[in-house]
Structure 1
Amino acid sequence: MKRLFHGNLVLIVVTSLVPGLATADVAQAKVASEPVSAELKSLPRPPSGPVPSRKALKALVEQTAKRYGVEIELVDALVVAESGYDPHAVSPVGAVGLMQVMPETAADYGVNSVEALFDPQTNVRTGVRHLKRLLGQFGIGKAVMAYNAGEGALSRHNGFVTYPETQRYTHRVLSSYLKKKGVSPYSLEARALTGITLTPSMATASATAGGRRTVRQIDPSRLRLRIRPTLSKRALDPGLHSSGPSSQPMFELQQPKPRLKPRN
């Protein structure tokens, strides 16, 4: 339930919540940003036929990372976390391919065909270009968070996304990356390299971790709102309602009466 204020006009809006949906940049988040379930949207269909060997795909990742000046270890860790090197992978929110690129994100890099994202070369090139741009903006640790949750989520969370899935994802990617470089994930060296502080709790972050509240489904049909007008019928006409220091809200909520406990 939301209260929307316009001058002295108070509107009460009741919204239904779909289970599993969270506020976030799920378009990029694959979590975060407004996740859309498979039931609510048509997901891309991978092509039929064999896929390249993992050895060939790793060689492609290395070549593309070198081409764009991004660390091979970081791109490799991200691909493992995103798709496990499956070029036909499709997420529940429509992210596609090896680097789980969203079609909307791909369009920013000139790729306007969802089918093209199933091509490993196109997918990795697009994903690495996007990652490089994030690295230039945020540094390693925050770029990994933004790749998963979206840049908007990073801004809203003051540079450290608290979505449980993003926490687990970031821990997995950065731990793998740091291990390849021979750096302990919880060391000062890791902090200096990634720009964020990894903690063991990030690996097992849940929806209730750190005081984070979970969103429960609400059945609007079970809501009971008691409101009463505070003005005359004439003043209740929005076109006639005037605002000013002495004006009153058009409606107000009535306090529910306390329930009496039955006597034993």
Structure 2
Amino acid sequence: MTNRIYPPRIGRYAPALFFVSAVLTAPVLADAAAKKVLDGTNMESAAATQTETLPKPPAASSVPSRAELVKLIDRMAAKYGLDSSLVHAIVRAESNYNPHAVSHAGAVGLMQVMPATAADYGVSSTDKLFDPTINAQTGTRHLKRLLGKYSIGKAVMAYNAGEGALERSKGFVTFAETQVYTHRVLTSYLRGKGVEPYSPEAQKLTGIQLTPAMARARATPSSSIQAVNRQVSRLRLRLEPTWVTSPLSKNALDPRLHQTGPKSKPMFVLEPPKVRPRP
């Protein structure tokens, strides 16, 4: 027997309808997550949960002096054939020479290396990234690889946002955080070389055009969040004037009890509007 659910009495089936809505909007939400988008909902609780899983620096360990860390960076830059002034600009922007720094995203140490990135270079233990030497070596190796693929400006963007973000944005990452970061690193690097950051010479050296607007970039609602809102609006418009029916028993409407397989039936069927009978 087909059970018909009329809109006014839909409350008891809310869990099942939420499941349907989640399935329909999951691809859009996944895309938003992939672009590091937050909609502001429950941000405090999300941040608290994330903090519990962040890497923790060693409780008691001696930290090298700033002078010692500067020498370490110089040594690693020379080892991998990098311009030490660029590496120092990145270290200043990433951690300001704090080997115990941990970002909200879980990046660790002097050069704020992500554990997943470190694993690509043979560092499988996150705790080892708090060692300044291991961290500096891993970070400079990663930067070296990025500079082998991209210009200086694009490599700096990829160091912050990831190569995937750089490729998806066709070579110029538009995330506000990355814009500010790139501006900070490159202006420090260029001025150390006596080059005006917004000059043609700077663009030729870095491969990108720096602008004052990059330093003032602020996060705004992204197209992904707007896409979610449009998806929900379209879904609501389709469901409100439509009868939702189920060919299953009432118990089977619970997603946890729904059986799948070749002979399974759909949980819900959307039918054209009909004359609504009296309750």
TM-score of the aligned structures, taking structure 1 as reference length: 0.72
Alpha-carbon offset, residue 57 of structure 1: 0.2
State the partner residue of 1:157: 169
Q: Distance in 2 between matches of 1:111 and 1:232?
A: 53
Alpha-carbon offset, residue 215 of structure 1: 4.0
State the partner residue of 2:49: 39
| 2:124 is the counterpart of 1:108 | no
State the partner residue of 1:81: 93
Query: What do residues 163-213 of structure 1 show as CA deviations (whole Å, max 9, x unaligned)?
Result: 0000000000000000111100000000000000000000010123xx955
Unaligned runs of 5+ in 2: 1-21, 38-45, 248-259, 264-268, 274-279
Q: Distance in 2 between matches of 1:17 and 1:55?
A: 48
Q: How many residues align?
A: 218
The residue identity in structure 2 corresponding to 1:138 is Y
Greater gyration radius = 2
> Which of the pair is proportionally richer in helix?
2
Structure-2 change in CA distance of 1:17 and 1:90 (3 Å)? farther
Q: Say if 1:135 and 1:143, in contact at 8 Å, map to a contact too.
A: yes
The equivalences for 1:128-143 within 5 A come to 128-143=140-155
Q: Say if 1:37 and 1:93, in contact at 8 Å, map to a contact too.
A: no
CA RMSD of aligned residues (A): 3.6
The residue identity in structure 2 corresponding to 1:49 is S
Alpha-carbon offset, residue 252 of structure 1: 7.8
| 2:201 is the counterpart of 1:193 | no
Which of 35, 56, 68 is the aligned partner of 1:24? 35
Q: Distance in 2 between matches of 1:62 and 1:52?
A: 15
Unaligned runs of 5+ in 1: 1-10, 27-35, 241-249, 255-264
Q: Distance in 2 between matches of 1:230 and 1:113?
A: 52
TM-score of the aligned structures, taking structure 2 as reference length: 0.68
Q: Distance in 1 between matches of 2:71 and 2:272?
A: 64
Q: Say if 2:95 and 2:111, in contact at 8 Å, map to a contact too.
A: yes
Q: Say if 1:168 and 1:205, in contact at 8 Å, map to a contact too.
A: yes
**Segments of 4+ in structure 1 off by > 3 A?**
14-18, 211-218, 227-233, 237-240, 250-254
Query: What do residues 129-180 of structure 1 show as CA deviations (whole Å, max 9, x unaligned)?
Result: 0001000101100000000000000011011000000000000000000011
Structure-2 change in CA distance of 1:98 and 1:252 (3 Å)? farther
The one of the two structures with greater contact order (alpha-carbon pairs below 8 A, sep at least 6) is: 2
State the partner residue of 1:31: none
The residue identity in structure 2 corresponding to 1:130 is H
The residue identity in structure 2 corresponding to 1:13 is L
Q: Percent identity?
A: 55
